[in-house]
Structure 1
Amino acid sequence: MADQSPHPARRETPQERADRNFAELLQEVRVTQNGVQILFAFLLTLAFTQRFLSLDTVQRATYVTTLLLAVVATALFTAPAALHRALFHQGIKPVIVRISSRLATVGLGVLMLTLTGAVLLVVDVSLGRYAGIAAGVGTFLVCVGLWVVLPRLVRRAALTPPAAPGAATDREPPEQPR
């Protein structure tokens, strides 16, 4: 079956493609994992500060929920390495890549909730409940915009065939320099 994408196919075997895809996935996970681990460490230290004792019930619940989300995100982002290590040399790299990609995708969703919770907590403690909720919602919307909406828009733009030369368009042609 021929490649249906508008981009030329790479000349690589399925195993080479799996190796490349896994290397790219691991690089993405490395970048994300560092941020998650820093956030997790920050959250761990909060419970040992003097101000932690003054948190109300909602703030404590937000803290514990966010901390647990950070644990889950960390586990999801480290799972591809553990999966690869456990199944190394089994000849199933494409399966490892597919499952690892799903783990990373779920990890991004959990990270989105973790970031939202962390911002909600910090702004709530610093400026008040309504400001915390607004900042949390804003954080969530920024993540959805950049991590969900933007990739879909880019994909749609990349898959839209270019207009034929001389075809009528709704747009004005760009102004020519004089």
Structure 2
Amino acid sequence: MSQEGRRTGRDETDDERADRMWVELIQEVRVAQTGVQILFGFLLTVAFQPKYADLVPTDQVIYIVTVVLGACATGALIGPVSLHRLVSGRRVKPQAVRLASRMTLVGLALLLATMTSSLLLILRVATHGYVPWLVVAVVAWYLTCWYILPLWARRAYSRGSGD
């Protein structure tokens, strides 16, 4: 096999690499999909609860924004499955993996926004105000776990493989 069909690092062709990266991506998406679907399903029931009518207008707006963010996150995190179905067999897996990876990153950012606004709403209702420093602390924790540590690890340990 020619050298241009092989990459450094793993001994795999571009197609084998795309196959491996697709499997890894789908496993990652499964975790996020489950969480966002459970959260979104719960959010959909809130408007049908008797106490919803008692929410102040600000809390109702936060709820609506949260539901829309949850719907968008769900769409972005389920998108890779639809993408795969629609392009399967078209010999575009490397491009599909890149696009699905971007959709997943957007979905995770939307999930972060959904969880943040959910926490904001819950704390406003539960405390009849809210504790902004607690929301900020939780968001900082999410950012650390989801972005800062992974990006730090990528920079500190990456050999430039592009994975």
Residues 101-159 of structure 1: CA distance to partner in whole angstroms, max 9, x if unpaired?
Answer: 0000011111000000111111110013232x333322221111111111122223314
**SS at structure 1 position matched to 2:11:** coil
Q: Which residue of 1 aligns with 2:93?
A: 93
* 2:34 is equivalent to residue 40 of structure 1: no
Contact 1:25–1:101 (CA<8 Å) still a contact in 2?
yes
Q: 2: distance between equivalents of 1:130 and 1:44?
A: 22
State which structure, 1 or 2, has the greater radius of gyration over its C-alpha atoms.
Answer: 1
Structure 1 contact 37–74 (Cα < 8 Å) conserved: yes
Counterpart amino acid of residue 28 in structure 2 = E
Q: Which structure has more helix as a fraction of its residues?
A: 2
Q: Which residue in 1 is equivalent to 2:76? A: 76
Q: Which amino acid in the other structure matches residue 138 of structure 1?
A: A
Distance 1:83 1:157 in 2: 32
CA deviation map 1:20-44 (0-9, x unaligned) = 1011000100010000000001101
Code of the residue aligned with 2:118 in structure 1: it is A
| Runs (5+) with no aligned partner, structure 1 | 3-7, 161-178
Match of 1:154 in 2: 153
Q: Distance in 2 between matches of 1:135 and 1:35?
A: 21
TM-score with structure 1 length normalisation? 0.82
Q: Answer 1 or 2: higher relative contact order, Cα 8 Å, separation at least 6.
A: 2
Letter in 2 for 1:56: V
Where does structure 1 differ by over 4 angstroms across 4 or more consecutive aligned residues?
A: none
2: distance between equivalents of 1:11 and 1:159? Answer: 17
What CA distance in whole angstroms lies between the structure 1 residues aligned with 2:130 and 2:18?
47
Unaligned runs of 5+ in 2: none
How many angstroms apart in 1 are the aligned matches of 2:64 and 2:138?
19
Which amino acid letter does the alignment assign opposite residue 48 of structure 1? F
Match of 1:13 in 2: 13
Residues 120 and 135 in structure 1, CA contact (< 8 A), matched pair in contact too: no
Q: Which residue does the alignment assign to 1:141? A: 140
Paired residue total:
155
Does the aligned pair in 1 maintain the 2:120–2:130 contact within 8 Å?
no
- C-alpha RMSD over aligned residues: 1.9
Aligned position for 1:125? 125
Cα distance in 2 for partners of 1:118, 1:59 equals: 10
Range with bigger deviation, 45-54 or 20-29: 45-54
